[in-house]
């Protein structure tokens, strides 16, 4: 199976490393599209995987490592592991690798552009067919990648990239895959089997939008509030006022989810208790802020606000969180003016 990874950072690099480590070349051919310092590191030193003790293993990649999409050729599976703001620039490259049966795993945080596009109308309700302008303002993502190629992907893995081409696994191996329109196909099962053999714990979902919404329910507060404050998640939850603000945001999102088949049975305090078990960790948005990378604001907060306004649901706490986070990011040049 020919697999291409675009976005060889903390998650994409880890998936590429596990595929290269655990599967023989006759089972999988892993290629990576990279640029800049990451490309130089991969071509010079190879993909390096660090364990908890700091021991580094150089992972063999049997495919092509290049910044030229044409060099990779057609692929059976494409893993897109870039931040949401970069999707519009990488999709034309992904297009070049598609054949009739290529599956594209979009491993991103937040609400994807296709969220309502294939959801059955009986579940989507008033959101049936809704195009989310906050994440795909001019429809370029929808035009570039037909839904027949898309696989929704929820990642429950903590990983970091302390240096270009160096991946350090933190915790977790979970991944949930599902098709935008539901159902489970033999091709999807084949991809899940491949990733399971590579050391991940993959489950398949009949309605991946529910899994996306549930993960978002926690991410949409912890990520931006940690970026606003510079605090790790344990400190956010230790502050009663901050914790209650996060809960208020979550309650607004929880209410709107009932309108399109994504009801959440937990309450915010139960979710906070799970987050607290992770200890003093930095969210991905805080790490991006510290590294000077563009922040994933629209997919995590903007899309939720857009959905709420479409439904006529009041979102005062979501609005406040979006406004504060967006202004903070703009003042640092990490969000478009």
Residues 311-320: contacts with CB under 8 Å, at least 24 apart = 311/126, 311/127, 311/256, 311/259, 313/252, 313/255, 313/256, 313/259, 314/252, 315/252, 315/256, 316/252, 317/245, 317/248, 317/249, 317/252, 318/220, 318/249, 318/252, 318/253
**Residue whose structure tokens are 């003042």:** 331
**Residue whose structure tokens are 């502050």:** 239
Dist. CA 98–CA 4, nearest whole Å: 11
Q: Which listed residue (22, 140, 173, 215) is catalytic?
A: 215
Q: Quick count: other Cβ atoms within 10 Å of Cβ 133? A: 14
Dist. CA 113–CA 97, nearest whole Å: 21
- On whether the CB atoms of residues 318 and 255 are closer than 8 A, the answer is no
Is 215 a residue of the active site? Answer: yes
- On whether the CB atoms of residues 80 and 107 are closer than 8 A, the answer is yes
Structure tokens at 17: 């490393």
Dist. CA 294–CA 195, nearest whole Å: 29
List, by residue number, the catalytic residues. 215
């Amino acid at each position: 199976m020919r697999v291409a990874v675009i976005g060889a950072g903390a998650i994409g690099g880890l998936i590429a490393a596990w595929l290269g480590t655990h599967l023989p070349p006759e089972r999988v051919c892993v290629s990576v599209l990279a640029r800049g310092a990451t490309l130089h590191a991969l071509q010079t030193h190879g993909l390096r995987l660090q364990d908890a003790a700091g021991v580094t293993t150089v992972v063999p990649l049997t495919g092509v490592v290049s910044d030229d999409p044409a060099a990779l050729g057609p692929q059976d599976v494409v893993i897109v592991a870039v931040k949401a703001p970069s999707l519009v620039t990488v999709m034309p490259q992904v297009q070049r690798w598609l054949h009739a049966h290529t599956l594209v795993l979009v491993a991103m945080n937040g609400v994807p552009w296709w969220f309502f596009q294939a959801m059955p109308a009986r579940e989507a309700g008033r959101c049936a067919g809704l195009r989310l302008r906050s994440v795909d303002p001019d429809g370029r993502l929808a035009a570039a990648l037909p839904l027949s190629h898309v696989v929704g992907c929820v990642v429950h893995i903590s990983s970091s990239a302390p240096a270009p081409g160096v991946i350090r696994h933190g915790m977790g191996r979970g991944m949930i895959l599902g098709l935008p329109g539901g159902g489970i196909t033999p091709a999807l099962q084949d991809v899940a089997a491949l990733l399971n053999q590579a050391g991940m714990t993959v489950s398949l979902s009949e309605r991946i939008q529910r899994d996306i919404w549930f993960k978002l329910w926690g991410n949409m507060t912890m990520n931006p509030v940690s970026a606003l404050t510079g605090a790790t998640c344990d400190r956010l939850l230790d502050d009663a006022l901050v914790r209650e603000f996060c809960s208020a945001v979550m309650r607004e999102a929880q209410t709107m989810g009932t309108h399109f088949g994504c009801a959440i049975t937990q309450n915010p305090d139960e979710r906070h208790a799970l987050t607290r078990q992770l200890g003093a960790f930095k969210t991905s948005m805080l790490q991006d802020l510290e590294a000077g990378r563009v922040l994933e604001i629209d997919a995590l907060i903007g899309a939720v606000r857009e959905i709420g306004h479409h439904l006529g649901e009041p979102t005062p706490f979501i609005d406040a969180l979006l406004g504060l986070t967006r202004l903070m990011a703009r003042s640092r040049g990490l969000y478009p003016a």
